[in-house]
A and B are shown apart, each in its own frame.
Chain A
Amino acid sequence: GAGVSQSPRYKVAKRGQDVALRCDPISGHVSLFWYQQALGQGPEFLTYFQNEAQLDKSGLPSDRFFAERPEGSVSTLKIQRTQQEDSAVYLCASSLAGGGDETQYFGPGTRLLVL
């Protein structure tokens, strides 16, 4: 079946612009996660949804970052007033039920470059 998909795959933004990154999880997966992966580093947790509820947003680096999953399927990560330090790959993952002890399936990521 179809895996996790993300769009756009690449995004170039000028500093100060707002961006929106989309994630389509595997159909039927309850949990959805967002990660930020800087060059040469491991993914870092940003936020987690169970259905439409955002249960953990402790990893969001600032109030410029906002995520939503209004109908419990597709999710959007929005970054307002982008800064150069926001340049990274943003990965989305989903898992069947919930919790950090289940297999997470990753999407291909959105590579964001802020100039």
Chain B
Amino acid sequence: GENVEQHPSTLSVQEGDSAVIKCTYSDSASNYFPWYKQELGKRPQLIIDIRSNVGEKKDQRIAVTLNKTAKHFSLHITETQPEDSAVYFCAASERSSASKIIFGSGTRLSIRP
């Protein structure tokens, strides 16, 4: 089955700087890669997703890139703000099943004022 590795596990950046979180996946047939943001005690919320027919997607300060050959994808947050502090999870669909999304172990992002 699908296996998703995520790093770093913790990341601290100065407010206004950029943050990058990287993930790798094992199933070459995976075709859907969502990113979720989870604040302490809250539900995971989708912030951006990408499908395997594109290599990059951007939404304001957030962008995701996908390298299918290398089986890795990354989240980029520019001009970070205090409200970006949260745990971020990458995920990948498991194509052997019509239903599963496999999550990475999370990155705790802290924005220093």
A31 and B99 contact, CB distance less than 8 A: yes
Which of A41, A50, A100 interacts with B100 by CB under 8 Å?
A: A100
B46 and A105 contact, CB distance less than 8 A: yes
Which of B6, B45, B101, B104 interacts with A100 by CB under 8 Å?
A: B101
- Residues of B within 8 Å of A41, CB to CB, are 105-106
Interface residues in B, total, Cβ within 8 A: 26
- Partner-binding segment picked from B12-20, B55-63, B65-73, B89-97: B89-97
Instruction: Answer whether residue A44 sits at the interface, using C-beta atoms and an 8 A cutoff.
Output: yes
Interface residues in A, total, Cβ within 8 A: 28
Instruction: Answer whether residue A103 sits at the interface, using C-beta atoms and an 8 A cutoff.
Output: yes
A48 and B100 contact, CB distance less than 8 A: yes
Within 8 A of A (CB), among B1-41: 6, 31-32, 34, 36
A100 and B43 contact, CB distance less than 8 A: no
- The count of A-to-B residue pairs whose CB atoms sit within 8 angstroms is 67
How distant is the Cα of A91 from the Cα of B45 in the complex, in angstroms? 12
Q: Output the nearest chain B residue to A3 by Cβ-Cβ distance.
A: B43
How distant is the Cα of A101 from the Cα of B36 in the complex, in angstroms? 14
Which of B6, B31, B45 interacts with A101 by CB under 8 Å?
A: B31
A101 and B43 contact, CB distance less than 8 A: no
Q: Output the nearest chain A residue to B9 by Cβ-Cβ distance.
A: A40
Which of A4, A44, A99, A103 interacts with B99 by CB under 8 Å?
A: A99
A103 and B98 contact, CB distance less than 8 A: no
Instruction: Answer whether residue A25 sits at the interface, using C-beta atoms and an 8 A cutoff.
Output: no
Q: A73 CB to closest chain B CB, in angstroms?
A: 18
B105 and A58 contact, CB distance less than 8 A: no
B34 and A103 contact, CB distance less than 8 A: yes
Instruction: Answer whether residue B102 sits at the interface, using C-beta atoms and an 8 A cutoff.
Output: yes
Q: Output the nearest chain A residue to B51 by Cβ-Cβ distance.
A: A101
- Residues of A within 8 Å of B34, CB to CB, are 103-104
How distant is the Cα of A42 from the Cα of B106 in the complex, in angstroms? 6
Q: Output the nearest chain A residue to B93 by Cβ-Cβ distance.
A: A100
Instruction: Answer whether residue A18 sits at the interface, using C-beta atoms and an 8 A cutoff.
Output: no
A residues apposed to B, CB below 8 Å: 4, 31, 33, 40-45, 48, 50, 55-56, 58-59, 91, 98-109
